[in-house]
Amino acid sequence: MSINPHVEKNLKCAQKKSVGCFSMRARIFNTFSAQETQKLAGDILAGLIKDSPKDKALVLALMGDLGSGKTTFTQGIAKALGILGRVASPTFVLMHRFKNQKSKIEQSNYNFLIHIDAYRLSKPEEILELGFQEIISDPKNIVVIEWPEKIKNFLPKQTHFLKFKFINETQREIKA
């Protein structure tokens, strides 16, 4: 299976260090604590939910180095969706699935948050064994993927890319 050209362009863009590479509409945020990153995640999610087609899963690809805040951002998404349990990194199990609770976001008809960490996949195809194609086809799902580069051939066209950068101990730059 070859990579979708639209996904390829965005992925290449997100891998570059240059800021000018994202579309004119890309926004750059700086956060100064994990809490700020979580709050930002809720705000970004609300915008995406408002603007995204309702017939597909909402897919977010979180790119960036180890410790740059991808899991922390996902915890903010979970909070915004009213998920109460602890959202730990699924690095070793690859995927967690949560039932959305009392979402704080208007117009959210999504029922599930699927959190995937592709870091430890030895082969991209392994993601398919987890039912990935069904997951991204189901309009009830919000799918958040850490290390999406590992499964680039399987990312759907509607994937939204976000880029995380470690600035210092408490500061992160997030491009969305």
Ligand X SMILES: Nc1ncnc2c1ncn2[C@@H]1O[C@H](COP(=O)(O)OP(=O)(O)OP(=O)(O)O)[C@@H](O)[C@H]1O
Binding residues vs ligand X (CB under 6 A): 31-34, 36-37, 64, 66-72, 89, 146, 164, 170-172
CA 41 to chain centre: 10
Nearest CB to ligand X, comparing residues 9 and 88:
88
Per the structure block, which two tokens stand in for 128? 């398919």
Angle formed by the axes of helices 34-51 and 70-80, nearest 10°: 60
Token pair 């597909």 is at which residue? 56
Q: Which does 15 bind (CB under 5 to 8 A by kind): Mg ion, ligand X, none?
A: none
Q: What is the smallest separation between the CB atom of 87 and ligand X, expressed in angstroms?
A: 10
Here's the x/- map for Mg ion, 144-173, by CB under 5 A: it reads as --x---------------------------
- Please state, in angstroms and rounded to a whole number, the distance separating the CA atoms of residues 95 and 90: 5
- Alpha helices, DSSP H only, in 58-131? 70-80, 126-129
Nearest CB to ligand X, comparing residues 22 and 147:
147
Which letter does DSSP use for residue 61 in this model?
E
Q: What is the smallest separation between the CB atom of 109 and Mg ion, expressed in angstroms?
A: 27
Nearest CB to ligand X, comparing residues 103 and 115:
115
Check residue 121 for interaction with Mg ion (CB under 5 A): no
Check residue 89 for interaction with Mg ion (CB under 5 A): yes
- Please state, in angstroms and rounded to a whole number, the distance separating the CA atoms of residues 38 and 136: 24
